[in-house]
Structure 1
Amino acid sequence: MLVSLFAAGSAIAADKAPLKSGIDLQNMDKAVRAQDDFYNHLNGHWMKTVEIPADRSAWGTGAQLVEEIQPRLRQLIEDAAAKGGSAEAKKVGDFFASAMDEAQADKLGIAPLSGERAKIAAISDKAQLAAQWAHMSRMGVTSPFDVSIHQDNKDSTRYVADLAQSGLSMPDRDYYLKKDDAKMADTLAKYEAHVARMMTLAGEQNAAATAKAIVALETRLAQIQWTKVELRDPVKAYNKYEIAKLQELAPGFDWNTWLTDANIAGKTKDVIVSQPSYMQGLAKVIQEVPLQDWKAYMDYQLLRAYAPVLSKAFVDEHFAFYGTVLTGATENRPRWKRAVTLTQSALGEAVGKLYVEKYFPPERKARMDELVKNLLLAYKESINKLDWMSPATKKEAQAKLAKFTPKIGYPAHWRDYSTLDVKREDLAGNVMRWHDFDHLRETNKLGKPIDRDEWLMTPQEVNAYYNPEMNEIVFPAGILQPPYFDMSADDAVNYGSIGAVIGHEISHGFDDQGSQYDGDGNLRNWWTEEDNKRYKERTQILVKQYSEFEALPGYHVNGELTLGENIGDNSGMAIAYKAYKLSLKGKKAPVIGGYTGDQRFYMGWTQVWRVKYRDAALIARLKADPHSPGQFRANGTLRNQPAFYDAFKVKQGDKMYLSPKERAIIW
């Protein structure tokens, strides 16, 4: 499914297969003018006729591809278990079998958590919170602050522990604080009722009062948290503290115990505190909130984390809120799909190894390697031609681009799961041991060399990412297939889809966040003052454009929150188009199905963002997701592409039209 950027046509032609357009024309609504709403022109019939599956909060090209992959993964997992192969394959099979055993889960009820709940009940002093919160982190249970291990933002040659705000059970602080928003207020009321029902299931006698105390505590945490927009500033979030100084930042908390029990003590002399004001505020909340309320909060967080692997009553109640209220889905996914997802979460690369062996032959990886290399070349040429950037900054940009590391398909070295203990009849225990295994694997990185072969996604995921600290672009095998890449289609649609995805990830290295890192992955300002000013002027155009998009009545896209992804979309699309034109080598693109190459290029982009959302899921996305909804990713990007205007004869007065001075032309 992967083609060379500059010679893709000849590569496909060698197979003597007729090229198809790659565009699904039956989804079109030709009653909608392309010049007024290109997204609905291309996808309108699909949008009107397709129903979101009952077990889904949204439905579109990405979700459909995931749905196609899941049965393959199930078969691979079950085959691995049946064949009795390697010890690793047996672990995969045993984990899946434990996740499928609904009868055992119903028989056990809440019993798998009895020991953990007893530990919480036995806490008699706030001094013991530190040990419990460290333990919760190791179990995959939410606590008021979280720890992650990554490269030091200003010294990418070392790992650092990063402490960050956490503790909420809903997607964003707005769900607790926006009392004047009827939908937020209604969700908060339903959340409190859900907590009460969960506590009742767990045997709590005063469930209503307990739920009210838990919601009040989480509201206190929400009040001191940074907003999602504030969290996007990597410089503001870089606050290095010597371990000895943590006591001054948040007095009264037993940092020594927490660091020891979290497996961090002795491995590093300092940590990053991403939101110091939150930690200061948390110390006050710890002091002011009664211990009994903290214990109730921890008990609920334990129940919330493990409800999906307990008896049916807990599974159903958890889904009723997190599935139906928060996302609008009306049915839980079939148990086998949940079991596949859980097995992937725990043993993702072990499952990925099986997937790659069957569904991602080496020649595809080789072609993708070449494609990415040529997109990087197109970016290099584009930087040289920028009229708003000075030679000094261009030199730095080229130096960063030259150090990009592409990772395609699957990792060079697979993760070792030999120390993970999996028991066929112990689902909750398997989940606890998996989380502890992951926590130890992460914290044991401290003080050790950087593992530059590590992947942050599994090969079977339908996604891609850029990691600024590693300065790498990563494309798992899962996304390298139709509709994102169609080996039997003409180049135009592939450049418009997977080419733009590649360009998107490259562009993250130069978006408003990524541009603050140099080629070695360090936070360093490599811009001249004047260039930085001009860059921000251009990106602010995108903030204004996207903030005007209204996804639901009263709910707009947050142009600040989505800025990085919108830069990625707009810049990636521009670079992919330049790469497509280079691939033609001066020749005219064929007309297929009545559409020119340029038209099919933009159609390829727009069809991959085809998606329908339930209202609740769309609101959650607008509050917490840095990506704009699909319709605005498609149309919002196209309005800034000069060649789109030529391809579809968009003129002043058309709804897709922006005057040249209103367009954001960046990379």
Structure 2
Amino acid sequence: PCVSSPAPPPSVPRPCVSSPDPPLVYLDPVSPHLGRGLCLSEACVTVASQMVEAMDRGADPCSDFYQFACGGWMRKNPLPDGRSRWSTFNSIWEQNQALLKHLLGETGRGRRGEGDGERETGRGSRGEGDGRIEELGAQPLVDLIAKIGGWNMTGPWEKENFMEVLKAVSGPYRAQPFFSVGVNADPKNSNSNVIQLDQSGLFLPSRDYYLNRTANEKVLVAYLDYMVELGRLLGGERSSTQILMQQILDFETALANITVPQDQRRDEEKIYHKVTISELQVLAPSVEWLDFLSSSLSPLELNATEPVVLYAREYLQQVSELINRTDRSLLNNYMMWTLVQKSVASLDQRFENAQDKLLESLYGTKKSCTPRWQTCIGNTDDTLGFALGALFVKATFDKHSKEIAEEMINEIRSAFKEALDRLNWMDDHTRQAAKDKVQRQTGRQTVGQTGNRLTVFQYDVSDDSFFQNMLNFYNFSSRVMADQLRKTPNKDQWSMTPPTVNAYYMPTKNGIVFPAGILQAPFYAQDHPKALNFGGIGVVMGHELTHAFDDQGESTSCPVCTS
């Protein structure tokens, strides 16, 4: 797709033409092509016009095809304020958000439909009660910190409370100091769920920000300023807060030193380690793992033989050693800091202003440039995305659209299998295994929305406290995670909500998912010519299908599919 950030032209083989401005689209009603398949419907004329407008026909396609194809679009779509990147994906998401705003407004005025989830989607987002948020200020977070045991950044704290604080911030409040905890399908046995542990704990987007201090000095200074400002807003004194926050930043740098770079983690065979809780206790003894995991997955009962998949074995061993040699006050400060980070977006404008300064340093953007209603829609999609998605799908995606999209997937799958027959470097055994894996995807694509009715959970919504609603959501997420462990993996469970403008491949299920959010114009429309749909959403479909054979998908579900 066209993007308005600088990008090199794609390396796409194409024949050079002698004319710098070839007549690619004919719209003349007396064209000699009439009667030979030329489409002059309203939809065809509209999309043809859009394609011409997106081009820069003054550019030479042989020297800069990207400029030739997308130059007009880039000229008409400069980077909006507050954005570091802009593309068709972004514009579709904004269209989807505008529709969701309208649908929520209709629901809030009392409309009730047949779909699951239309009852609570209009309540409890930050979009309502901004005055109440400003009135409460920092107090909701101050009260939460006191409830957990205090923070010596702002007042007294309970010194012998390491495990209790770790359980509190990691469990019901879903912060992730030191490591992350999840429940997902076991890649080695996709018919069962398993507890999974991985490295975590860094606030900045990459370990490189901490380790390459010369290149990232501006960001590190802005991050420390942000930390100090938040500490002061929560009641800390400037000079002591500066010292304590510098210690936390140094501790995060120590975590960055033992964090494995992402480019060394792509081969799941190398990073997958399955152990029992008792074996994990020997590996990383600084944490009481049975106590911690039992708390995180309450009310489930665990014992020392419970299997756990580690995706960062060496990291967990090293972080245990780091915890053992670090002063307890610093550990407490760091754990509370991870909770503070997670809570900032739920507090008043002063906290948002502090965050804006950091975002500007990191990305050159400001969150405050985003209209408040879009922030509200994003919050609602994050927390009640499938209930919200029921409204979205009902409004945008009918049965016929689903059938067309599924038929396109089947045609692309057939073309892929035919292409395998033309690969002379692939032996017959591997070729057949690849075909079998593709064939097993039949019936494992989900288009539009998940086929299941929404699961009903108790989810408390406050009418006047956005902060409390977010705490309720984190607690709700913990209960949902615990609920999955003893169940067979739900192959219809999605990791994206229906309004999302994206798609993905599920390695442990060998399935592909296309939310209704991406099945929108210009990627896809019922009345578009078939070629345009294949050139739009068809590219995405083929991309997701081939993930089954990349360096992460090849080893799951079908171990002999590639050689």
TM-score, normalising length from structure 2?
Answer: 0.86
Kept in 2, the 8 Å contact 1:120–1:298? The answer is no
Does 2:552 match 1:513?
A: yes
Kept in 1, the 8 Å contact 2:271–2:312? The answer is yes
Match of 1:481, SS state, is coil
Q: Select the structure that is richer in helix.
A: 1
Kept in 2, the 8 Å contact 1:137–1:143? The answer is no
Match of 1:345, SS state, is helix
CA distance in 2, matches of 1:517, 1:126: 44
Cross-structure match for 2:249: 215
CA distance in 1, matches of 2:193, 2:356: 37
Match of 2:369, SS state, is coil
Bigger CA drift: 15-24 or 249-258?
15-24
What is the CA-CA distance between 1:49 and the residue it aligns to?
5.2
Equivalent residue letter for 1:326: L
Kept in 1, the 8 Å contact 2:117–2:390? The answer is no
Equivalent residue letter for 1:247: Q
What is the CA-CA distance between 1:526 and the residue it aligns to?
4.4
Match of 2:285, SS state, is coil
Match of 1:30 among 52, 57, 75: 57
Does 2:268 match 1:246?
A: no
Kept in 1, the 8 Å contact 2:142–2:234? The answer is no
CA distance in 2, matches of 1:17, 1:54: 34
CA distance in 2, matches of 1:485, 1:136: 41
Cross-structure match for 2:9: none
CA distance in 1, matches of 2:166, 2:557: 39
Does 2:301 match 1:266?
A: yes
Equivalent residue letter for 1:67: E
What is the CA-CA distance between 1:525 and the residue it aligns to?
4.5
Cross-structure match for 1:603: none
Deviations 1:403-434 (A, max 9, x none): 11110001111333441111111211111111
Does 2:532 match 1:493?
A: yes
Does 2:238 match 1:194?
A: no
Cross-structure match for 2:98: 71
What is the CA-CA distance between 1:24 and the residue it aligns to?
2.2
Paired residues, number: 509
CA gap 1:140/1:325 in 2 versus in 1, 3 angstroms: farther
What is the CA-CA distance between 1:308 and the residue it aligns to?
1.1
Does 2:134 match 1:106?
A: yes
Cross-structure match for 1:128: 162
CA distance in 2, matches of 1:393, 1:478: 36
Deviations 1:152-210 (A, max 9, x none): 111111001110001011111001001242xx222112111111111111111122112
CA distance in 2, matches of 1:277, 1:309: 35
Match of 1:421, SS state, is coil
Cα RMSD over matched residues? 2.3
Cross-structure match for 1:310: 347
What is the CA-CA distance between 1:486 and the residue it aligns to?
3.7
CA distance in 2, matches of 1:487, 1:84: 28
Deviations 1:238-264 (A, max 9, x none): 100111111111112111221111016
The sequence identity of aligned pairs, in percent, is: 28
Cross-structure match for 1:95: 124
CA distance in 2, matches of 1:291, 1:332: 40
Does 2:424 match 1:392?
A: no
What is the CA-CA distance between 1:495 and the residue it aligns to?
1.6
CA distance in 1, matches of 2:233, 2:458: 34
Cross-structure match for 2:197: 163
Match of 1:240, SS state, is strand
Kept in 2, the 8 Å contact 1:120–1:295? The answer is no
CA distance in 2, matches of 1:150, 1:256: 19
Does 2:471 match 1:446?
A: no
What is the CA-CA distance between 1:370 and the residue it aligns to?
1.1
Cross-structure match for 1:376: 413
CA distance in 1, matches of 2:220, 2:536: 39
CA gap 1:453/1:190 in 2 versus in 1, 3 angstroms: same
Equivalent residue letter for 2:386: E
Match of 2:236, SS state, is coil
Cross-structure match for 1:409: 448
Bigger CA drift: 263-272 or 297-306?
263-272
Kept in 1, the 8 Å contact 2:82–2:364? The answer is no
Match of 1:30, SS state, is coil
CA distance in 2, matches of 1:358, 1:53: 28
Match of 2:175 among 129, 141, 151: 141
CA distance in 2, matches of 1:369, 1:198: 49
Match of 1:463, SS state, is coil
TM-score, normalising length from structure 1?
Answer: 0.73
CA distance in 1, matches of 2:161, 2:278: 18
Cross-structure match for 1:338: 375
Kept in 2, the 8 Å contact 1:199–1:207? The answer is yes
CA distance in 1, matches of 2:415, 2:166: 52
Match of 2:172, SS state, is helix
Does 2:316 match 1:279?
A: yes
CA distance in 2, matches of 1:425, 1:228: 41
Cross-structure match for 1:557: none
What is the CA-CA distance between 1:354 and the residue it aligns to?
0.7
Kept in 2, the 8 Å contact 1:242–1:269? The answer is yes
Match of 1:456, SS state, is coil
Does 2:107 match 1:80?
A: yes
Deviations 1:307-348 (A, max 9, x none): 1111110122123213x2222114431211111110111110
Equivalent residue letter for 1:202: L
What is the CA-CA distance between 1:460 and the residue it aligns to?
0.8
CA gap 1:440/1:16 in 2 versus in 1, 3 angstroms: same
What is the CA-CA distance between 1:132 and the residue it aligns to?
2.3
Match of 1:163, SS state, is strand
CA distance in 1, matches of 2:52, 2:135: 51
Deviations 1:560-595 (A, max 9, x none): xxxxxxxxxxxxxxxxxxxxxxxxxxxxxxxxxxxx
- Structure 2 stretches of 5 or more lacking a match? 1-36, 151-155
Match of 2:496, SS state, is coil
Match of 2:123, SS state, is helix
CA distance in 2, matches of 1:486, 1:38: 26
CA distance in 2, matches of 1:499, 1:88: 31
Deviations 1:59-85 (A, max 9, x none): 111111111111110111122122064
Deviations 1:487-514 (A, max 9, x none): 4433333222211110000000111211
What is the CA-CA distance between 1:15 and the residue it aligns to?
11
Kept in 1, the 8 Å contact 2:137–2:347? The answer is yes
Does 2:143 match 1:115?
A: yes
CA distance in 1, matches of 2:319, 2:549: 35
CA gap 1:276/1:525 in 2 versus in 1, 3 angstroms: farther
Equivalent residue letter for 1:266: E
Q: After TM superposition, where is structure 1 displaced by more than 6 Å over at least 4 residues in a row?
A: 12-16
CA distance in 1, matches of 2:376, 2:397: 23
CA distance in 1, matches of 2:542, 2:347: 43
Kept in 2, the 8 Å contact 1:214–1:293? The answer is yes
CA distance in 1, matches of 2:38, 2:403: 18
Cross-structure match for 2:82: 55
CA distance in 2, matches of 1:84, 1:47: 40
CA distance in 2, matches of 1:490, 1:361: 18
CA distance in 1, matches of 2:449, 2:257: 41
Match of 2:365 among 329, 347, 351: 329
Match of 1:172 among 191, 195, 206: 206
CA distance in 2, matches of 1:126, 1:416: 40
Kept in 1, the 8 Å contact 2:408–2:534? The answer is no
Kept in 2, the 8 Å contact 1:88–1:418? The answer is no
CA distance in 2, matches of 1:14, 1:113: 60
Equivalent residue letter for 2:286: G
